[in-house]
A = this chain, B = another copy of it.
Amino acid sequence: MEQIKDQQTMLQEALNFGKPYVRYGKPAGYIPELAKIDPNRLGVALCNLDGTMVTAGEVDTYFTMQSISKVMSLILAIAQNGYEYVFTKVGMEPTGDAFNSMVRLDQLTDNKPFNPMINAGAIAVASCIRGANLAERQQACVEFARTLTGNPEVDIDFSVFASEKATGYRNRAMINLMKSNGIIDGEPEEHLDLYFSICSISCTCKDLAYFGAVLANNGVDPRSGKELIPLRVVKLARSLMVTCGMYDYSGEFAATVGMPSKSGVGGGILSAPIGKCGIGVYGPALDVKGNSVGGLKILEYLANEMQLHMF
């Protein structure tokens, strides 16, 4: 009880600490639906490993997961196809390039995208997700998202999906180049639709915190106690979040904040300090690398105050 009250204070302080930085960022401009969003929004939720939730700020607003969904689709693809198969399509190495860079897609000898946390890698992972057709594959992803967030309301935001599909030329370029290089089975366009659908799954800060708690809790659902993800896969996901989760800021984030985390250009960041708790932040104003500016500050504050730095 006491503990939870302390967390409440800390979250409020973290929110206050992050607030002034919001004005240094701006929403993702390249997806029209995201560009419209109020950049001043800011919220943080923390889910303890017993499932209790503490929040501060705007935590009930839905936003799209964007790249945060890459963690989830990787876990699902492994569940459906096995670890070994998925890593014939994608590597595990961080890259200092921007999340949407194509430069090295065409330079590697084996042509595999570097890791599942960048766009090209996540597209390759999405191509592995099974189902008889697009609708079934979308449904599998939505259901898995509901399970991991503990929220049955989580769903695809079809207006964001339509916006991404209409303007996602760079992602379309990536999947066609990977198709040309033998990485993609089947027709690119359906896989790309699935990828855009996954990116457009909409949730709240609290949902991210819950998902984070599952990861921090070694894959076990904090409320039901059920194993949602095998331990080996949780360890893989957490390590990839550390080495590759924050775009080309991952190295500095590991050094200075030190929590397995994944950010998305929708403004969310999912953090999973191992054995501690899950954290979700939301702040759509982004820095040049695509990370929520307010969110980064909130996480930095919490890492320091709650001793969550793992290194």
Chain A contact residues, CB within 8 Å of chain B: 91-96, 101-107, 114-115, 169-170, 172-177, 179-180, 188, 235-236, 238-240, 242-244, 248-252, 254-255, 258, 260, 274, 309-311
Contact = CB atoms under 8 A, between A and B. Distances in A.
A177 B173 contact: yes
A117 to B, nearest CB: 10
Given A95-B95, A172-B173, 5 more contacts: A93-B250, A169-B179, A173-B175, A176-B176, A239-B255
Contacts of A115: 251
Given A96-B95, A250-B93, A240 B255 contact: yes
A269 to B, nearest CB: 18
A175 to B, nearest CB: 8
A96 B96 CA distance: 7
A70 to B, nearest CB: 14
5 contacts: A92-B255, A95-B95, A96-B96, A235-B311, A242-B254
One complex includes copies of this chain to the number of 4
B173 A169 contact: no
B310 A91 contact: no
A102 B106 contact: yes
B102 A252 contact: no
Contacts of A114: 96
Most-contacted residue by chain B among A107, A235, A243, A258 (CB, 10 A): A243
Contacts of A173: 172-177, 179-180
A309 B243 CA distance: 15
B107 A103 contact: yes
A204 to B, nearest CB: 27
A102 B235 CA distance: 33
Contact of A169 (B176, B236, B243): B176
A290 to B, nearest CB: 14
Q: Which 7 pairs between the two chains have the least Cβ-Cβ distance?
A: A94-B94, A173-B176, A169-B180, A173-B177, A170-B180, A93-B251, A92-B251
A176 B123 CA distance: 16
Contacts of A102: 102, 105-106, 177
Contact of A93 (B238, B248, B260, B274): B248
A309 B235 contact: yes
A179 to B, nearest CB: 4
Nearest to A241: B311
A10 to B, nearest CB: 21
Contacts of A311: 235-236, 238-239, 242, 260, 274
A299 to B, nearest CB: 15
